[in-house]
Amino acid sequence: MKLGSELRAFEARIGYSFSTPELLVEAVTHASMSSSTRNDNQRLEFLGDRVLGLVMAQALIEADPNASEGALAPRFNALVRKETCADVAREIDLGAVVRLGRSETVSGGRRKLALLGDAIEAVIAAVYLDAGFQAARDMVLRLWADRITQVDDDARDAKTSLQEWAQARSLSPPEYIEIDRNGPDHAPIFTIMAQLSTGVKGSATAGSKREAQQGAARALMAILEQDT
């Protein structure tokens, strides 16, 4: 099987050339394009999630041999969470080569956080099956390099930090309220408000509810830090 020019260019972006091109094709095929003769990437995503986890666990232990499990866990979560995977996918323009059905394309699937996060994990699995763990590890470390060195700056997501702040003060967990939604159905824009039981609130706008909630939590944490 020969890859088209777009997938060959994608190989160049990830720094890996497939011996079995069918694996890459499967990795970029979304469930909306699956059929009896065409596999989608869900099984590869399941495997790639585990490969990514092992690579990151090893990288973190090697980077800080004296770190405790309690210190390593939030760093690990920051590196493997779906938002991080989607950011990496955007940097290599994975969305441009993902194969989607018409309805998913119309609904803005190439920009969806979960879809991109799943797809990069499928690509990791495809490399692993094509050439083994070392090849997959090398690619992941290349793509995640800056994030690994800067992980302490992003070790806890904003929602977790806000919830821990509230718990430490015997407050109820923060509420996340959708206060606005604009844009077309295929590319909605959400505005979310994060609010504590004390009445302090912060808001943010983003292209997904998850990103808007994180932004609102960051905004609220910034207000709380100014008041302390």
Superfamily in which the 5-154 domain is placed by CATH: Ribonuclease III domain (1.10.1520.10)
pLDDT averaged over every residue in the chain:
90
Same fold, 5-154 and 158-227: no
Annotated domain spans of the chain: 5-154, 158-227
Q: Yes or no: say if 46 and 112 are a contact pair by the CB < 8 Å rule.
A: no
Check residue 214 and give its pLDDT: 86
Report the alpha-carbon distance of residue 225 to residue 228 in Å, rounded: 5
Query: Measuring CA to CA, which residue among 41, 67, 66 is closest to residue 123?
Result: 41
Q: Judge whether 71 and 59 are in contact, CB under 8 Å.
A: no
Q: Which two tokens stand for residue 128?
A: 């692993």
- Helices within 107-208 (DSSP H only): 113-131, 133-143, 145-149, 158-168
Q: Give pLDDT < 70 ranges for the chain.
A: 153-156, 227-228
How open is the CA angle 171-216-112, to the nearest 5 degrees?
A: 130
CA Rg value for the chain = 20
Closest by CA position to 75, among listed 87, 89, 61, 65: 61
Buried b (16+ CB within 10 A) or exposed e, 192-206: bbbbbeeeebbbbbb
Phi, psi values for residue 190, rounded to 5° = -105, 140
Catalytic one among 26, 45, 49, 157? Answer: 49
121 is catalytic: yes
The pLDDT score that the predictor gives to residue 194 is 97
**This model's pTM is above 0.85:** no
Query: Of the residues 45, 104, 121, 130, which is catalytic?
Result: 121
pLDDT at residue 157, rounded to an integer? 73
What's the fold here for domain 158-227?
Double Stranded RNA Binding Domain (3.30.160)
Rounded CA separation 186/140 (Å): 31
